[in-house]
Chain A
Amino acid sequence: MSERNTTGQRRGFLKTLGLAGGAAVAASAPAAAFNADGSLGDAKPEKESADQRLAARYRETEDVKAFYRTNRY
């Protein structure tokens, strides 16, 4: 009898652990995932203007400088 109780407790614990893990994954999931069909999914469209889309984004940040430096070795 006590052995059966222990088994039940263990299964209950594992079930709780599984549910908590699933909830944590759902909470940390990104707001949107890549859609191969090119659709927006649940995301709202936020189109850039003609000037914004052509603007330069590249900046020589510390990350970029480190890349250039380490590739010279």
Chain B
Amino acid sequence: MARMKFLCDSDRCIECNACVTACKNEHEVPWGINRRRVVTLNDGKPGERSISMACMHCTDAPCQAVCPVDCFYTTADHIVLHDKDLCIGCGYCFYACPFGAPQYPKVGNFGGRGKMDKCTYCAGGPQADNSAAEYAQYGANRIAEGKLPLCAEMCSTKALLAGDGEIIASIYKERVQVRGYGAGAWGWRTAYRETVGV
């Protein structure tokens, strides 16, 4: 059985934010919610690195462990999804998640956050596949259409990989064997001389 994973090759990510834009456009995610974001370390300094982050669909998901209404579930593809009809917007999952994946649409009266929203791995939610109800609550379901998440398919430098964990791990391994990694990567010394190492 395939285990769905994201893998961001930080040696290739150029912080173009196309993955963020593609995600927002595909699911019509409004202002204020980012299911995916690009994090940059050492911004503007030699050795700067960017990595595209979203829900990592953890095997033992902390959000799932702390949810008081048990609205999370893991599919046979190991994708962590949630039921918005059960979510009470308590925010526990937000505090538990080490990646900051859960997002809330608003802060209303008495601190109400609204229903939690997060990356669905383009796999929708507990409504019928590709129904209007599913799109209204969770966005598009590309996995049911036989496709992969749009953020990965859109990536121009092929930094963001998605799909069967074993296959994308082998792709990444091949890349590292050919070009190296970090300060040993092809082109690093041309760009940064020999003074910067990662």
Contact = CB atoms under 8 A, between A and B. Distances in A.
Nearest to A45: B133
A13 interface: no
Contact of B171 (A57, A58, A71): A71
Interface stretch (A3-11, A16-24, A29-37): A29-37
A7 B190 CA distance: 64
Contacts, number: 121
Nearest to B123: A57
A39 B29 CA distance: 14
B139 A34 contact: yes
Contacts of A30: 132, 135
A60 B59 CA distance: 22
A46 B131 contact: yes
Sort chain A's interface into a size bin: 35 or more
A60 B4 CA distance: 12
A60 B2 CA distance: 10
A43 interface: yes
A40 B158 contact: no
A40 B125 CA distance: 12
Interface string A45-73: 11110000111111111011001101111
Contacts of A31: 132
B69 interface: no
Q: Which of A33, A47, A55 has the most CB of B within 10 A?
A: A47
Contact of A56 (B77, B106, B128): B77
Contacts of A44: 132-133
Given A36-B105, A36-B114, 10 more contacts: A35-B137, A36-B32, A36-B106, A38-B114, A55-B75, A64-B163, A68-B171, A71-B158, A72-B171, A73-B158
| 5 closest residue pairs by CB, A with B | A38-B115, A61-B146, A32-B132, A34-B28, A46-B128
17 contacts: A32-B132, A34-B136, A36-B30, A37-B105, A38-B114, A39-B137, A53-B75, A53-B81, A54-B73, A55-B76, A56-B75, A57-B77, A57-B123, A57-B144, A60-B164, A64-B147, A71-B158
Interface of A: 30-48, 53-61, 63-64, 67-68, 70-73
